[in-house]
C-alpha cells in the first residue's frame, strides 16, 4: 500500500505561553532529547510511509533545523522523502493558511504528483507510539471512506477535545469540537486515513467555497454521505499543546517505566535528530533519582523527579526537583529549583532559589537569573 503522510505542524500552541514564543508546538522539546513531531513522524516511517509532507506556518525555524533533510528518519531519499510545506507568495499574492483544509489545498501539488493511493493525516504535537498498519487494515475491512483514530474520553477533559458518537458498528454519527456537552464517549485524536482522490475531491468542493477547516468543512459536513469510521486506540496518547501543566505532565509521565516502555520500546523506536555527545556523567558529589538525564549532561548536584535535556550542567550543591531543564542550561553552585521549566540555555545563578506553585515557573531561552 502506498501512503502519503501529511503532518499538520503549523500551530503555535498558545496555551504553552512563553515556551512557544519562538517555536511551533510541534518543535517543543520533550523527554530529554526528542521533539514532539518525532512521535508522529516516526510512527509514519515505521508504518511504511516513505513520503511525508510537514505543513508549517508559525515560526518554523526551530522545526526546520530539527528535521533537516530527514536523514535521521530515513527520509533523505531519491524517491519520496521529507517535504517542508510552508505558505508562499506567487504572482497572485501571498496567503497564510486560512485553516487546515486550506493548508492541504494550497499544497495540492504534493497530492497530484505522487503515486500514492492513500493519505494519512496526523498532527505534529501529539505524543504516542503506534503502528498505523492496524489502522490501514481496519479501514479496508470496514470499507470506510474515511477512518478517524479515536480514544475513550474517560481520562480527558472533554471540553478541550473533539468528542465523537458512533453506532454499534463504529460508524461515526456525530462530532463536536470542544463542547461542554460531549457528543459521545470518544475523543478525536486528529488522525485521518482516506483515499487520496477522495481527499482531493473533498478539498475542491470545500476550500474554493471559503470552507477552510478540515474537520468541520471536510469531515463533519460529510458525515451523512460518507462512511466515516472510528478506529479505537487504547494506548498512551497526549496532546502537548493543551496547557503548560499538560506539557509538564507528559514529561513526568515518561519517568513511569510502563509509559516509557510503551512509548520507546514496545511498539518500535522513536527517531530523533542525533548529536555526537558523550554519555551523561554523574560526578562523586552528584545524585540522580527517578529522572531522565540526556547525553552530554554533567550532574554534580542533586536531581530528583526531573527531565534533564542534553548538555545541561548541574553544579555541586545545586538541587533540581520536579522540573524540566532544557538543552544547554546551567544550574550554578548552591542554586535550587522546584517545579520549574527552563527553556534552552538558561542560567540559574549561584545560591538562587526558584519555586513554581500551582503552575510551573517558566524561564525563557537565554535568561540569566
State residue 89's pLDDT score.
75
- CA-CA distance, 74 to 30, in Å (whole number)? 21
- CA-CA distance, 151 to 174, in Å (whole number)? 15
State residue 78's pLDDT score.
85
| Other residues' Cβ atoms within 10 Å of the Cβ of residue 157 | 12
| Other residues' Cβ atoms within 10 Å of the Cβ of residue 162 | 23
- CA-CA distance, 244 to 339, in Å (whole number)? 12
State residue 97's pLDDT score.
92
What is the distance, to the nearest Å, from the Cα of residue 53 to the centroid of all Cα atoms in its chain? Answer: 15
Give the pLDDT of the chain (369 residues) as one tens digit per residue: 899 999 999 989 999 999 999 999 999 999 999 999 999 999 999 999 999 999 999 989 999 999 999 999 999 988 889 999 998 877 776 678 999 999 999 999 999 998 999 999 999 999 999 999 999 999 999 999 999 999 999 999 999 999 999 999 999 999 998 888 999 999 999 999 999 999 999 999 999 999 999 999 999 999 999 999 999 999 999 999 999 999 999 999 999 999 999 999 988 999 999 999 999 999 999 999 999 999 999 999 999 999 999 999 999 999 999 999 999 999 999 999 999 999 999 999 999 999 999 999 999 999 999
Half-sphere exposure of 266 (CA within 13 A, CB side): 12
Alpha helical stretches, state H, 142-225: 196-206
Between the CA of residue 135 and those of 17, 52, 141, 191, 200, what are the distances in Å?
34, 17, 10, 10, 21
State residue 215's pLDDT score.
96
Between the CA of residue 127 and those of 5, 41, 259, what are the distances in Å?
17, 11, 11
State residue 88's pLDDT score.
80
State residue 293's pLDDT score.
98
Query: pTM value?
Result: 0.95
State residue 93's pLDDT score.
67
State residue 180's pLDDT score.
86
Question: What 3-state DSSP class applies to 172?
Answer: strand
Amino acid at each position: 500500500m502506498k501512503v502519503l503522510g501529511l503532518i499538520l505542524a503549523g500551530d503555535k500552541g498558545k496555551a504553552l505561553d512563553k515556551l512557544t514564543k519562538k517555536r511551533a508546538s510541534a518543535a517543543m522539546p520533550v523527554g530529554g532529547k526528542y521533539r514532539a513531531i518525532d512521535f508522529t513522524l516516526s510512527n509514519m516511517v515505521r508504518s511504511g510511509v516513505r513520503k511525508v509532507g510537514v505543513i508549517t506556518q508559525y515560526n518554523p525555524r526551530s522545526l526546520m533545523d530539527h528535521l533537516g533533510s530527514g536523514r535521521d528518519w530515513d527520509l533523505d531519499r531519491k524517491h519520496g522523502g521529507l517535504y517542508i510545506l510552508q505558505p508562499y507568495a506567487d504572482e497572485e499574492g501571498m496567503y497564510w493558511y486560512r485553516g487546515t483544509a486550506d493548508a492541504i489545498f494550497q499544497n495540492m501539488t504534493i497530492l497530484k504528483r505522487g503515486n500514492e493511493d492513500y493519505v494519512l493525516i496526523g498532527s505534529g504535537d501529539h505524543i504516542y507510539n503506534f503502528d498505523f498498519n492496524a489502522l490501514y487494515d481496519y479501514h479496508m475491512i470496514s470499507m470506510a471512506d474515511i477512518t478517524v483514530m479515536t480514544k475513550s474520553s474517560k481520562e480527558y477533559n472533554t471540553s478541550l477535545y473533539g468528542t465523537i458518537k458512533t453506532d454499534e458498528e463504529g460508524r461515526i454519527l456525530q462530532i463536536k469540537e470542544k463542547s461542554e456537552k460531549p457528543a459521545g464517549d470518544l475523543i478525536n485524536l486528529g488522525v485521518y486515513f482516506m483515499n487520496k482522490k477522495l481527499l482531493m475531491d473533498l478539498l475542491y468542493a470545500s476550500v474554493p467555497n471559503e470552507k477552510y477547516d478540515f474537520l468541520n468543512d471536510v469531515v463533519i459536513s460529510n458525515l451523512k454521505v460518507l462512511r466515516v469510521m472510528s478506529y479505537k486506540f487504547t494506548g498512551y496518547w497526549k496532546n502537548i499543546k493543551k496547557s503548560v501543566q499538560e506539557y509538564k505532565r507528559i514529561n513526568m509521565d515518561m519517568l513511569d517505566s510502563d509509559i516509557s516502555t510503551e512509548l520507546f520500546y514496545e511498539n518500535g523506536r522513536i527517531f530523533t535528530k542525533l548529536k555526537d555527545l558523550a554519555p551523561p556523567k554523574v560526578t562523586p558529589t552528584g545524585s540522580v533519582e527517578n529522572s531522565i538525564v540526556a547525553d552530554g549532561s554533567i550532574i554534580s548536584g542533586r536531581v530528583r523527579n526531573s527531565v534533564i535535556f542534553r548538555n545541561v550542567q548541574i553544579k555541586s550543591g545545586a538541587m533540581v526537583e520536579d522540573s524540566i531543564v532544557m538543552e544547554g542550561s546551567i544550574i550554578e553552585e548552591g542554586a535550587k529549583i522546584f517545579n520549574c521549566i527552563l527553556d534552552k540555555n538558561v542560567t540559574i545563578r549561584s545560591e538562587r532559589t526558584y519555586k513554581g506553585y500551582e503552575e510551573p515557573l517558566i524561564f525563557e531561552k537565554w535568561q540569566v537569573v
